[in-house]
Structure 1
Amino acid sequence: MADTPKHSVSVAGIVVDEDDRVLVIQRRDNAHWEPPGGILELDESPEDGVCREVFEETGVSVAVEELSGVYKNMTRGIIALVFRCRRVSGEPTVSDESRAVAWRSIGEIVDDMDPAFAIRVQDALSREVYVRCHDGVELVGSD
């Protein structure tokens, strides 16, 4: 049993404003643009985890609306639960984990993000639930 592969679970929030712009961060560790999110802690629900992660990385408090997708990084064994959210309060501000925080249009997101992360935003805006796999950058397998 010790050789059994391990997975970790992360959460991310696709925070959409009234103009259909999405709150995104530029990560401090690798300068990539992504939706805010991170590893789910053992003692929290996925919804609580996404609210915590979005607040920690952006200074914005959110309410979770719905699950928009499940994404597996096939290379690293990370399962990401992605939720569509709405802003409740707070103004975007940088943190220890984000070097920039911005509201972006879908066109800007597609231009600035790796496909494996841009698709999460596109999926959340479609209001459907998706299950996808990626290699950390590109989608893999069938749609």
Structure 2
Amino acid sequence: MPLHSVSVAGVVVRDDGRVLAIRRADNGTWEPPGGVLELDERPEDGAVREVLEETGIRVSIERLTGVYKNMSRGVVALVFRCRQIGGVERTSSESTAVGWLTPEEVEKRMSEVYAVRVLDALEPAGAPHIRAHDGRHLLESA
């Protein structure tokens, strides 16, 4: 029986349209804050926890914006649009930089599979996106 891992991420959007991002300590890539969902945790609570742990920013969840599956690794990511309700930006053991990026900076700094998660979250409310990728690039729908 195949096993899957579930991760969560928060796309925190400011009133000026900038989004919160981290530069990961392990590989230097820019991504929205997130990580593995704990066994006893609701997805929304996991996203709130991960954003706080990695950035120092407290958030509330607005809505689920996408479900993304890495087909080669079996990781399913749930991405939530969030708004800041407190805290101050800081790095952590998992991040070497925390910044508020424009959508254009997201496209330049993030790999395709992370940039699309942020850009999907910036779209007007609607049904969550469901996408698959190979770890680097999006896969076409069947």
Q: CA deviation at 1:78?
A: 0.3
Which residue does the alignment assign to 2:48? 51
Using the alignment, how far apart are the partners of 2:43 and 2:120 within structure 1? 18
Provide the TM-score with structure 2 as the length reference. Answer: 0.96
Which residue does the alignment assign to 1:132? 131
Which residue does the alignment assign to 1:22? 19
Aligned length: 140
Deviations 1:75-95 (A, max 9, x none): 110000000000000111100
Deviations 1:53-77 (A, max 9, x none): 0000000000000000000001110
Using the alignment, how far apart are the partners of 2:102 and 2:25 within structure 1? 21
Which sections of structure 1, spanning at least 5 residues, go unmatched?
A: none
Which sections of structure 2, spanning at least 5 residues, go unmatched?
A: none
The answer to whether structure 1 residue 89 and structure 2 residue 90 are counterparts is: no
Deviations 1:83-114 (A, max 9, x none): 00000001111000001000000000000000
Native 8 Å contact 1:14 1:35 kept in 2: yes
One-letter amino acid matched to 2:83 = R
Considering only aligned residues, what root-mean-square deviation do their CA atoms show, in Å? Answer: 1.0
Provide the TM-score with structure 1 as the length reference. Answer: 0.96
Using the alignment, how far apart are the partners of 1:99 and 1:135 within structure 2? 26
Using the alignment, how far apart are the partners of 2:117 and 2:26 within structure 1? 21
Using the alignment, how far apart are the partners of 1:136 and 1:57 within structure 2? 22
Q: Classify the secondary structure of the residue corresponding to 1:10.
A: strand
Q: Classify the secondary structure of the residue corresponding to 2:6.
A: strand
Which residue does the alignment assign to 1:103? 100
Using the alignment, how far apart are the partners of 1:91 and 1:135 within structure 2? 34
Q: CA deviation at 1:141?
A: 2.1
Which residue does the alignment assign to 1:13? 10
Using the alignment, how far apart are the partners of 1:7 and 1:141 within structure 2? 21
Q: Classify the secondary structure of the residue corresponding to 1:19.
A: coil
Using the alignment, how far apart are the partners of 2:136 and 2:18 within structure 1? 22
Native 8 Å contact 1:27 1:34 kept in 2: yes
